[in-house]
Amino acid sequence: MTLQERCPVLQFRDLGDERGKLVVIEGAQAIPFDIKRVFYIYDSDASVVRGQHANRESEFVLINVAGRSKVRITDGKEEFIVELNKPMMGVYIPKMIWKDMYDFSSDSVLLVLASTHYDGSEYIRDYNDYLRIMDAEA
Ligand code: TYD
């Protein structure tokens, strides 16, 4: 499976009507895990790079509910970039995938759905460590 196949861009259904848009994301239905945690990133701008980590245990879905940002996704071998620019789209990031979020528009609100409660010890924050671990586990 290619990296892009492992990290699909998801299109959510719009249940909107003349009153406005409505997007519903149900855990284990519209996304491949039950949601244990939600966080969102805003007030970032085009000069910052966030993320810069891989997670041993957590899966994520990233959605720009407002504005736009880019996500660079890599497994140390393949790499691709997704621009998140619609509230109805998201990208799925499985375990042990490295991601950087950057190029935030000033109105960006990046919503993150996670499969776990927060545990800082499951984060790999050094890219060289990540590459070593990926090589060792290959
Ligand atoms: P960090 O992982 O650097 O954020 P990002 O992935 O957006 O770059 O997290 C910033 C701080 O917030 C860090 O001290 C850890 C803390 N944090 C939590 O306590 N719980 C969480 O769910 C997250 C994502 C971060």
Predicted confidence (pLDDT) per residue in 76-135, tens digit: 999 999 999 999 999 999 999 999 999 999 999 999 999 999 999 999 999 999 999 999
Residues known to be catalytic:
53
Euclidean distance between CA atoms 121 and 101, whole angstroms:
21
**Residue whose CA lies nearest to ligand 1 atom number 6:** 51
User: Residue 138: its pLDDT value, please?
Assistant: 81
18 C-alpha to ligand 1 centroid (Å):
37
Euclidean distance between CA atoms 31 and 36, whole angstroms:
13
Euclidean distance between CA atoms 21 and 28, whole angstroms:
22
Query: pTM here?
Result: 0.96
* Positive/negative CA dihedral, 28, 30, 32, 37: negative
Mean pLDDT for 5-22 is 96
